[in-house]
Chains A and B, each alone.
Chain A
Amino acid sequence: GQNIDQPTEMTATEGAIVQINCTYQTSGFNGLFWYQQHAGEAPTFLSYNVLDGLEEKGRFSSFLSRSKGYSYLLLKELQMKDSASYLCAHRGSGGSYIPTFGRGTSLIVHP
């Protein structure tokens, strides 16, 4: 199976740094995605990790450890507009390209 766990909700203060964790269990691995979804809108692609390590994209970074089945999304210099749901999605191996989504983490940024 591809069980994916991430926290249901997190809160943080504007200007701070927040780390959203995602753990997964699977018999194979073919990439891990992070998506952002604002209330009432479609999810949009943020990042993709297939190798271990940190991928940085401006204020957002994503980390992967395949041996630990673990990823995190790091958001720096938080802004109010970062209040959204963050979805972790894992894609298995064996030619499967179908991602399985976690339940999402709702991030609330306070002034």
Chain B
Amino acid sequence: DVKVTQSSRYLVKRTGEKVFLECVQDMDHENMFWYRQDPGLGLRLIYFSYDVKMKEKGDIPEGYSVSREKKERFSLILESASTNQTSMYLCASSLSGTVGNSPLHFGNGTRLTVT
């Protein structure tokens, strides 16, 4: 069974802090994703990666960066946290896009509050 683990369930940070959200998957998946989920807005894609050291912007990349130095780990970085980045952050992984039925497997999420 696929396991996607996010390092923190809850985080509270101050405005201007640099924040690291870590995600690790144990199924050798090529693709990894970072989403944020807000009430009434659903899941919105921040960044994704289809291979080590590769990254692509999603729909809302502003204020975020990512790092994928190893296949199993995908980190989301908030360079200078702001209150509008208070949200639930979900990491996901999936097999390569060449596999048709390749659903996303999600971590349990990190609820980030920026004060």
Chain A interface residues toward B at CB < 8 A: 30-31, 33, 35, 41-45, 48, 50, 87, 89, 95-104
**Docked complex: B28-50 residues within 8 A CB-CB of A:** 31, 33, 35, 40-45, 48
B97: A residues at CB distance < 8 A: 95-97
- The answer to whether residues A103 and B42 also contact, given A41-B108, A97-B31 and a CB cut-off of 8 A, is yes
Whether B108 contacts A42 by the Cβ 8 Å rule is yes
Complex Cα spacing A96 to B96, Å: 11
Question: What interface size band does chain B fall in?
Answer: 20 to 34
Additional 16 contacts, C-beta under 8 A, given A35-B103, A97-B97, A100-B45: A35-B104, A41-B109, A42-B107, A42-B109, A43-B90, A43-B104, A43-B106, A87-B43, A97-B94, A97-B96, A98-B48, A99-B104, A101-B35, A101-B43, A103-B41, A103-B42
Whether B42 contacts A48 by the Cβ 8 Å rule is no
Whether B101 contacts A31 by the Cβ 8 Å rule is yes
Whether B106 contacts A44 by the Cβ 8 Å rule is yes
What 1/0 flags go to B86-115 for Cβ under 8 Å of A?
000010001011001111111111000000
Q: Which of A43, A99, A101, A103 contacts B40 (CB 8 A)?
A: A103
User: Nearest Cβ in chain A — how far from B10, in angstroms?
Assistant: 11
